[in-house]
Amino acid sequence: MIRAQGLAIGHGGRRLLENLSLQLERGGILAVLGPNGRGKTTLLRTLLGVHPRHAGSVQLGGHAAYVPQQAQDAFPYDVLTMVVMGRARHLRWYQGPRVADLQIAHECLHAVGLLHLAHRSFPSLSGGERQLACIARAMASDSPIMLLDEPGAALDLRNQDIVLSTLRRLASERALTVVFSTHQPQHALHIADQTLLMHADGAEHGATLAMCSDERLTRLYGLPIRRVTLPQDSGSVDGVVPIFH
């Protein structure tokens, strides 16, 4: 569970968000949409408690795992070791990973399609593969809350689907509470129950279908955007089409 009340955030002396109040229950997924520089990363870091808030309160219903936009590591750890690091909060001081921790790490790598790279050097992976490994590490922490900063930014379309489908499954099966930022309204429509729009003059949030309307997305991004319904074998799916000038 995540609850924010009267939250105000800023960065570099600039106020980015005022008087935000929202609540996300266990198993809920919140997408955060907004143009560059609007404060999406700052919001996530404020919810996490690593960036000071200007006003208001934040309450988390448990430990939160964080997946940043770009993961860099100065040491040539292999991928399995990087994912096992997610188990650190379950170990005693100076205790090494147990057999059960290694098994969990293997399961998380399998879930994101990277098990075959378990013994590859983490720095040798592509940007998308590093992002998937970091999501596996966050999964391995077994935290009830996961915050992700643009988890699909470095991924091709297939891996975006893997990541989003994995997050939706974890939210459903483990009652994981998920907050993720994205530049893609399609990502919000795909898995988010609620969506937060970070406009230049304030923010609004609510049910994803209502927030991802043509009018709201056009205002958010400053160019015409249309939501379309596309047929699928199992029914239909909502899509978003930007109208570039």
How far is Cα 58 from Cα 179, in angstroms, rounded to an integer?
14
Q: What is the CATH number of domain 1-62+144-207?
A: 3.40.50.300
Domain boundaries, the chain: 1-62+144-207, 77-142
Rounded to a whole number of angstroms, the CA Rg of the chain reads: 18
Task: Collect contacts of 235-239 with beta carbons under 8 A, ≥24 apart.
Answer: 238/189, 238/209, 238/212, 239/186, 239/189
Q: What string of DSSP letters covers the chain?
A: -EEEEEEEEEETTEEEEEEEEEEE-TT-EEEEE--TTSSHHHHHHHHHTSS--SEEEEEESS-EEEE-SS---SS--BHHHHHHGGGGGGS-TTPPPPHHHHHHHHHHHHHTT-GGGTTSBGGGS-HHHHHHHHHHHHHHTT-SEEEEESTTTT--HHHHHHHHHHHHHHHHHH--EEEEEES-HHHHHHH-SEEEEEETTEEEEEEHHHHT-HHHHHHHHTS-EEEEEEEETTEEEEEEEE---
How far is Cα 189 from Cα 208, in angstroms, rounded to an integer?
6
Whether the per-residue pLDDT at 154 is higher than 80: the answer is no
How far is Cα 218 from Cα 195, in angstroms, rounded to an integer?
15
**Token pair for 174:** 């483990």
Q: State residue 137's pLDDT score.
A: 94
* Percent of the chain residues topping a pLDDT of 90: 65
Q: What is the mean pLDDT of the chain?
A: 91
Q: Tell me the C-alpha to C-alpha distance, in Å, between residue 178 and each of 152, 156, 214, 221.
A: 14, 21, 25, 24
**Token pair for 82:** 């990087």
Q: State residue 73's pLDDT score.
A: 65
Q: What's the pLDDT tens digit per position in 2-31?
A: 999 999 998 777 778 889 999 999 999 999
Average pLDDT over residues 120-146: 91
154 or 44: which leads in pLDDT:
44
Q: Is the pTM of this model over 0.85?
A: yes
Range scoring the smallest mean pLDDT among 75-79, 152-156, 200-204, 232-236: 232-236
Q: What's the pLDDT tens digit per position in 118-131?
A: 999 999 988 888 88
Q: What's the pLDDT tens digit per position in 171-194?
A: 999 899 999 999 999 999 999 999
